[in-house]
Amino acid sequence: MSRSAPAAGAPAGTLAAALAVPALGLLWGLNWPTVRVLLGWWSPWTIRTVGLGAGALLLLALARSRGQALAVPPGQRLRLVGSALFTIVGFNLGTAFAQVAGSTSRAAIITFTMPLWATLLAWPLLGERPDRRRWLALALGGGGLALLALPLLQSRASPAGVMLALGAGMSWAAGTVLLKRYPLSMPHVAATGWQLAVGALTCALGWLAFGAHPVLSGAPQGTPPWPVSAFWVALAYHILLAMALAYLLWFDIIARLPAGVAALGTLLVPVVGVISAMSLLGERPGLPDLLGFALIIPAAAIALLAPAPARAPAPSRAH
């Protein structure tokens, strides 16, 4: 199945999507310290259940107000749920728990190894064989991860934060490749709303199962170092901008723009995330963090901005 924007109004739609690219980078980048603030009051399960649930309601209401059908096309419910579990649930829970276990700036950097895992997954699933530049990207990314893991090995500290952030990046990559292989033929607003709804339901079930667990709940310890007003500002930002608006922009961008252009928005995310964590949270990344950052960002840029590799011949499949 292939998707393409309609010819009428395509230039205007492409321009709007291009203007949304830097906005997406800012929205998701600033969400890193926002979630850190929310973690002072709520567990990751609660944050994601409320954030994703409210975002889903807003988007589904918007789709209805535009007269869009909310029904998922026949035969596409499984792919929608699969995309949501990887892109929404795995990514959002992984990044939240990674911040519980470690620093915000380090989690933001490690999560951005997503393009590297997408490159590896696209080889067997999409028939996209990596070229020399993508192998270089994988080598740089591996070196960056090694530098980020070095302080943990030296101090024998728990690697949980690194592993959770790494898992979040892998989950995001799997969801992206899955959606490219099995796209959804429905309006983006409704499709995004339903994926957020699946994410909210899954996180709510997780809260019911693990909400009282001393470790798996991720419940905050001690008194938050921020005023209560910071919580309400962070919650409003998280729901309205980082969840509802940003995910709507993301799914629209990947549908309208070439992958290289869409990548510019995600290239901004870890940069904004680290800078905002330093300025708003007072974090000071160490030398291994900065060196790892210097390797992972170019690696991601190479993996995302290089010309798409030729696909291997694959048998046709019915949709």
Q: State pLDDT tens for residues 112-154.
A: 788 778 878 888 888 878 788 878 888 888 888 788 777 766 6
Residue-range domain boundaries for the chain: 18-220+228-305
pLDDT tens digits along 291-308: 888 888 887 777 666 665
Residue 207: name the closest of 84, 53, 91 by CA.
53
Query: How many whole angstroms separate alpha carbon 22 and alpha carbon 11?
Result: 18
pLDDT at residue 12 in the model? 58
251: confidence class by pLDDT, cuts 50, 70, 90? confident
**CA geometry: angle 280, 277, 101, nearest 5 deg:** 120
CB 126 within 8 Å of CB 135: no
CA distance 300 to 264: 10
Q: What is the mean pLDDT of residues 73-80?
A: 94
In this prediction, residue 35 carries a pLDDT of 94
82-121 confidence digits (pLDDT tens)? 999 999 999 999 999 999 988 888 788 888 788 778 878 8
Q: Greater confidence, 313 or 235?
A: 235
Residue 13: band (very low, low, confident or very high) from pLDDT cuts 50, 70, 90 = low
Residue whose token pair is 């690697």: 159
Q: Give the integer Cα–Cα distance in Å for 11 and 58.
A: 28
Is 77's pLDDT higher than 90?
yes
Task: Give yes or no for residue 14 having a pLDDT over 70.
Answer: no
Q: Is 128 helix (H, G, I), strand (E, B) or coil?
A: strand
Residue 207 clears pLDDT 60, i.e. is over it: yes
* pTM metric for this prediction: 0.81
Instruction: Please give the Cα distance from 115 to 182 (Å, whole number).
Output: 19
- State the amino acid at position 95 in one-letter form: T
pLDDT tens digits, 50-69: 999 999 999 999 999 999 99
pLDDT mean over 206-214: 89
The two three-digit tokens of residue 128, written as one number: 């996209």
